[in-house]
């Protein structure tokens, strides 16, 4: 848990810039949801949390849905960008290939990929219909994950590892995750993942889960809720 933000996979990364014409729409759509996530405390950087490492990241599939496993090309925020107030094209990179078995990624962009890249790739491999993945950190949702009946990965499985990929697949097959679109990462403090056929669908699933957690907390606190 203390290794938040540390890249645990091997990568072949080409530092060539992303084409602004090709990626403007995808980057700005992701940036808009990342902005909302930052306002709601789901993405950011705080000296008091996770030893000061940034938390939360967003991605969008930009390749054909028909591409095979490990080849569903996606755009993702770069490593250590979660605390950035401003985000630009150069803060994103493209994952061209990912292989959880070899724990390897091929990517390009001005910045290296997020440490959560392998988890994002695993979610794109669940279904060709998944187009956006949002990874948030939220203490209230994570703490109340059982009461919220959120599918949760095994706590013994660390983020960004091949084992996490198998865990995500297991949940998808067995827990109704295809419909609920949100799960908690049991071994990753405060970690939540939402996904959808669009940024709006993933974002909505995430924010509705956050609202459900606050409502539950309100009841637990004797009908009242304080702003943090």
Residues that bind Zn ion (CB under 5 A): 191
Q: Select 45 or 107, whichever has its Cβ closest to Zn ion.
A: 45
At its nearest, how many Å lie between Zn ion and the CB of residue 7?
Answer: 12
3-state secondary structure of 162: helix
Report residue 190 as tokens: 């405060």
Cα 35 from chain centroid?
14
Tell me which DSSP letter residue 18 carries: P
Other CB atoms closer than 10 Å to residue 42's CB: what's the count? 25
C-beta closer to Zn ion: residue 191 or 196: 191
Closer of 109 and 191 to Zn ion (Cβ): 191
Q: Which residue is nearest to Zn ion (CB)?
A: 191
Relative to beta strand 10-14, strand 104-108 is parallel
C-alpha distance from residue 65 to each of 130, 193, 197 (Å)? 8, 20, 11
Q: Give the nearer residue to Zn ion in terms of CB position, either 27 or 164.
A: 164
In angstroms, what is the minimal distance from the CB of 22 to Zn ion?
28
Query: Nearest distance from residue 226's CB to Zn ion, in Å?
Result: 26
- Nearest-approach distance from CB 57 to Zn ion, in angstroms: 7
Q: Please give the Cα distance from 89 to 27 (Å, whole number).
A: 7
């Amino acid at each position: 848990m203390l290794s938040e933000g540390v890249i645990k996979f091997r990568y072949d990364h080409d530092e060539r810039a992303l084409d602004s014409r090709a990626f403007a729409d995808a980057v700005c759509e992701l940036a808009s949801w990342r902005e909302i996530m930052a306002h709601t405390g789901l993405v950011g950087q705080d000296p008091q949390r996770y030893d000061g490492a940034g938390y939360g990241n967003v991605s969008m599939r930009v390749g054909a849905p028909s591409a095979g496993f490990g080849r569903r090309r996606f755009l993702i925020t770069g490593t250590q960008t979660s605390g950035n107030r401003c985000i630009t094209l150069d803060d994103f990179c493209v994952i061209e290939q990912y292989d959880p078995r070899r724990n390897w990624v091929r990517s390009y962009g001005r910045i290296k990929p997020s440490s959560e890249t392998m988890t994002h790739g695993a979610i794109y491999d669940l279904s060709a219909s998944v187009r956006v993945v949002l990874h948030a950190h939220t203490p209230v949702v994570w703490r109340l994950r059982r009461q919220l009946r959120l599918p949760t990965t095994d706590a013994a499985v660390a983020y960004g590892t091949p084992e996490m990929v198998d865990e995500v697949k297991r949940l998808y097959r067995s827990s109704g995750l295809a419909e609920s679109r949100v799960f908690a990462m049991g071994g990753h403090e405060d970690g939540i993942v939402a996904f959808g056929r669009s940024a709006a669908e993933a974002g909505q699933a995430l924010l509705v889960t956050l609202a459900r957690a606050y409502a539950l907390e309100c009841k637990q606190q004797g009908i009242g809720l304080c702003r943090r």
